Amino acid sequence: MFEARLVEGSLLKKVMESIKDLLNEASWDCSGNGMCLQAMDSSHVALVSLMLKSDGFENYRCDRSISLGINLASMSKILKCASNDDIITIRAEDDADAITFMFESPKQDRVSDYEMKLMNLDTEHLGIPDTEYACVIKMPSGEFSRICRDLSVLGDSVIICCTKDGVRFSAKGDLGNGNIKLAQSANVDKEEEAVVVDMREAVTLTFSLRYLNFFTKAAPLSSQVSLSMSEDVPLMVEYKINDKEGDSKGYVRYYLAPKIED
């Protein structure tokens, strides 16, 4: 038996919005530690690694580890039937061919449940080694979304150049070119508005804006995003999943291989 109850159900709705355009289907691997999902997009260019920690749920029961094969578009459609303030419970029997979602209104005066068929998925997992990145850039997630959106006007790719002075995002195309420079924040009252660069070595890499724009769908989950880069390894874009009190409930991480010159 697997059962997980999340009082702040809107978090699960946001998690689905952050992956449904990038992935068609994926397995939720449920264990005592929590619910994990790892999947590549259909073109095998980007990788999503997602964790919802068991102690982030108000109730969590997982008698034995199970893998729930899910059509993510279907799950997203069902979660849209939940109100933003609903409590969401996910339930699956061992060896079941279906998963149940229960939505309770805060006053408990409206309870709905939806059963969705599970899929048999032959999933591939990639081993992601622990990496000490040369640069880790933390910035407001809304700022990163805006940069990706704005530079998409100019080209398909963005060059991210991280030095001790700050970060420069550049794009060029037939129209012309554009640059956005962010300096490290000297003094900010609010931590979520800060730009912080932790740099061991300067790095310049090129990435597809199409994929970065997919990643920014996770911005509603977190006020800050971190970009971790080293030469010749995939970029890691991480959004921490925090509840209203700021306690960590997990993360969504996206990995994207750099583009190389033809």
Partner 1 sequence: ESGQQEISTYYARS
Q: Which residues bind partner 1 (CB under 8 A)?
A: 40, 43-47, 124-129, 156, 206, 208, 210, 233-234, 255-262
Return the number of the residue (38 or 141) whose C-beta is nearest partner 1: 38
Give the distance, in angstroms, between the CA of residue 249 and the centroid of all CA atoms in the same chain: 13
Return the number of the residue (103 or 207) whose C-beta is nearest partner 1: 207
Residue matched to tokens 């999947």: 39
Residue 236: CB minimum distance to partner 1, A: 11
Both tokens assigned to 231: 């030469």
User: Cα separations (Å) of 121 from 44, 156, 228?
Assistant: 16, 32, 30
Return the number of the residue (109 or 129) whose C-beta is nearest partner 1: 129
Return the number of the residue (10 or 228) whose C-beta is nearest partner 1: 228
Find, among 50, 110, 89, the residue nearest to 236 by Cα. Answer: 50
What is the C-alpha to C-alpha distance for residues 73 and 192, in angstroms, rounded to an integer?
A: 31
End-to-end CA distance of the chain: 51
Both tokens assigned to 10: 């809107």
Return the number of the residue (129 or 174) whose C-beta is nearest partner 1: 129
Residues contacting residue 129 through CB under 8 Å, at least 6 positions apart:
none
Residue matched to tokens 């554009």: 178
Return the number of the residue (36 or 99) whose C-beta is nearest partner 1: 36
**Contact (Cβ atoms closer than 8 angstroms) between residue 12 and residue 57:** no
Residue 195: CB minimum distance to partner 1, A: 27
Residue 16: CB minimum distance to partner 1, A: 22
Residue 129: CB minimum distance to partner 1, A: 8
Residue 233: CB minimum distance to partner 1, A: 6
Return the number of the residue (59 or 131) whose C-beta is nearest partner 1: 131
Work out the angle between the directed axes of helices 10-19 and 72-79 (0-180°, nearest 10).
150
Strand partners, 60: 4
Give the distance, in angstroms, between the CA of residue 206 and the centroid of all CA atoms in the same chain: 20
Residue 249: CB minimum distance to partner 1, A: 25
Residue 131: CB minimum distance to partner 1, A: 10
